[in-house]
Structure formats: structure tokens, C-alpha cells
Amino acid sequence: MITVVIPTHNRAALLRGCLHGVLAQEAVAFEVIVVDDGSTDDTQRLVADFRDPRLRVIRHDQPRGVAVSRNTGIAAATGSWIAFTDDDDLWAPSKLREQLSAAESTGAAFVYCGAVVFSDNSELVTPDRPVPSPDLMRSTIVRWNSLPGGASAQMVRRDLLLAVGGFDTRFHHLADWDLWIRLTDAGPVAAVYQALVAYRRHDANMVVEYPANHLAEFERLVAKHGEAARRHGLALDGVGFNYWIASRQRRAGRRWRSARIHFTAAVKYRDLGHLGSAIRSPLGAWALGLRSVTTSRPEPPPAWLQALRTSNQLRQ
């Protein structure tokens, strides 16, 4: 049995599409726990309208944050595996089956898969960052978050999650990256190289709305995992992380905010690339040297995503 945990807050319209993708999973036993983190919109009614016995809701009366919400779902799970997805992302119908098969064939306790990035105003998608091999992931995860698909592409044994303490509630935006670092040290890992997740990009993404919070959390991540990174002869990639934050601001049309982030990073890390981007960003130039932002060309969506996007279920 797999438990799917979906934290949500006031995004009923997006949650509808996510649930259609999750509930369409094929050839695997699963339950779905929606953790309603103090929503004041139609989330409760939306979930009830699905009338699916595999689906249940746990509600926080007041918002407590995504890390707490995911831990709430973990604590209530009855499955031996936990899969996470954000409320605005979509899954291929074979997602859980492919990951469970990979876990069973390799003995892994932590499985991730590939993803594409899409937006509602474009028919095309772009591949997310490449799926790293387990060996490459182990050597890069303490430097930068090398896993595609945000928090929507991973499946973990529940006993391993409990052993490492679940999500660290001192983090909000980077709680997933922190957990991936700890899981990688705690158990065997497997990869599914197919793109089985569609990661939605829009201006309401937290990285666009709260860049200062992301940057502050990165400093806490360095304080927590800096010594582990040094043991691997690495350091968490502050230069690349700042490029990622600045690029998302630029794509959202916030070029002066992007320039400020570049300039601050140029001073902090003595990085000439950031300095050049700080000058060019208000003029609309693309930043150089991005480590964690895909520059892949747009391409047609995979068949499963096209089917979801054109279905009447997502248009209700």
C-alpha cells in the first residue's frame, strides 16, 4: 500500500487537476490524504465531491505550513510507502507503479523520477533538470538540489521517513531539499528516468512570491549541512542557488528584483557572473551560468499529460 500526501492551502482550482492525476494511478494499491492547511476556499467541498473511498482529508484549523502538513500526512498514513505531490502538479497514471517496481527490483527505500515543466498558457513543455543516477545524486545533493519535479517526484518507505524524523519544520521552502539530503545518507536510492511528473510553473509559485525567505532558508541549510558537504569535499552552491532565485524573478517580469538578487550575490560570493547579470537583468538579458534551471527547448508534452490537460475533468 502507498499513501499519497498532498498538502494544500486555498488552491481548490489547482487541487482538482492534481487529484484527477493521482486517483488515476494504475495497478497499485493506494490511499490519498489531502492535508487542508487552514483553507478558506472550496477545498473541503471539492474533495467531498470526488466521492472516492481512497481519498480522505485532514484539516488544520489554522495554517501551519507545508512541512508540518506533510508530517501530518505521514503520521496518518497506513501505507508502507509515502509519495508526495504538491497540489498544483500532475502525475502520469503509471507513476506509482513504475516507482514501486524500481524499489522492488533494487531494494531501494527512496525512489525519484523525471519531470517536465509546464505552464497553463503554453501547449509545450520543457524537460526539468536531468534525472541523476543514484551515485550522481548522492554526490550532488549536498551541493544543490539535483532532483527534478520539486517535492512531487519522490516516494519513500514510511519507516525510513520516521527514522530520519520526517520534514524539519524549521524550514518551509527548502524542507524537501533538507529531507532529500538526510534520506540519501540513510538508505538505498533508485531512479526512474521517465518523466512521470508535470511540474507546474506559474507566478504564484512560492519561489516567485517569497525570494527573500528562500535565500534566508538557504543560509539555514548551509548551517545544518555545511559540515556534511565538507566531508564530501563540497560546499552548498550559493552562487547557483542565487542564480535560480534571480532567474525565476526575471521570468515573472520582476527584473529589478532579479537585479538586486544578482548584485547582492555578486558582493557576497565575489562572483563576476552575478555582477554582469545584475547589470543586464533590468534590460531583459538572460542570466549566465545557471546550474539548476533548465535551458532545454520546448517540446510537445508526453501523451499522458496531453490527455490530462485536454480532459473535461481539468476544465470543470
Mean pLDDT across the stretch 224-253?
Answer: 81
> Is residue 226 one of the residues assigned to a domain?
yes
Instruction: Say yes or no: 266 and 177 in one domain.
Output: no
First to last CA, the chain: 30
Vertex 150: Cα angle to 36 and 252 (nearest 5):
95
**In whole angstroms, what is the distance from residue 302 CA to residue 83 CA?**
21
**In whole angstroms, what is the distance from residue 24 CA to residue 248 CA?**
31
Q: What is the pLDDT of residue 282?
A: 53
Mean pLDDT across the stretch 253-272?
Answer: 78
Instruction: Say yes or no: 210 and 199 in one domain.
Output: no
User: Could you read off the pLDDT of 150-186 as tens digits, one per residue?
Assistant: 999 999 999 999 999 999 999 988 999 999 999 998 8
> Is residue 28 one of the residues assigned to a domain?
yes
Residue span of the structural domain in which 89 resides: 2-203+299-315
Instruction: Say yes or no: 117 and 183 in one domain.
Output: yes
Q: What is the pLDDT of residue 185?
A: 86
Taken as a whole, the chain contains a residue count of 316
Domain count, the chain: 2
Instruction: Say yes or no: 108 and 179 in one domain.
Output: yes
> Is residue 293 one of the residues assigned to a domain?
no
Instruction: Say yes or no: 6 and 29 in one domain.
Output: yes
Instruction: Say yes or no: 265 and 146 in one domain.
Output: no
pLDDT at 146 exceeding the cut of 60: yes
Could you tell me the pTM of the whole model?
0.88
CA distances from 218 to 133, 184, 240 (A): 24, 19, 11
pLDDT at 295 exceeding the cut of 70: no
Instruction: Say yes or no: 250 and 306 in one domain.
Output: no
> Is residue 21 one of the residues assigned to a domain?
yes
- Secondary structure string (H, E, C) spanning the chain: CEEEEEEECCCHHHHHHHHHHHHCCCCCCEEEEEEEECCCCCHHHHHHHHCCCCEEEEEECCCCCHHHHHHHHHHHCCCCEEEECCCCCEECCCHHHHHHHHHHHHCCCEEEEEEEEECCCCCCEEECCCCCCHHHHHHHCCCCCCCCCCCCCEEEEHHHHHHHCCCCCCCCCCHHHHHHHHHHHHCCEEEEEEEEEEEECCCCCHHHHCHHHHHHHHHHHHHHHHHHHHHCCCCCCHHHHHHHHHHHHHHCCCHHHHHHHHHHHHHHHCCHHHHHHHHHHHHCCCCCCCCCCCCCCCECCCHHHHHHHHCHHHHC
Instruction: Say yes or no: 119 and 34 in one domain.
Output: yes
Instruction: Say yes or no: 163 and 216 in one domain.
Output: no
Instruction: Say yes or no: 13 and 56 in one domain.
Output: yes
> Is residue 294 one of the residues assigned to a domain?
no
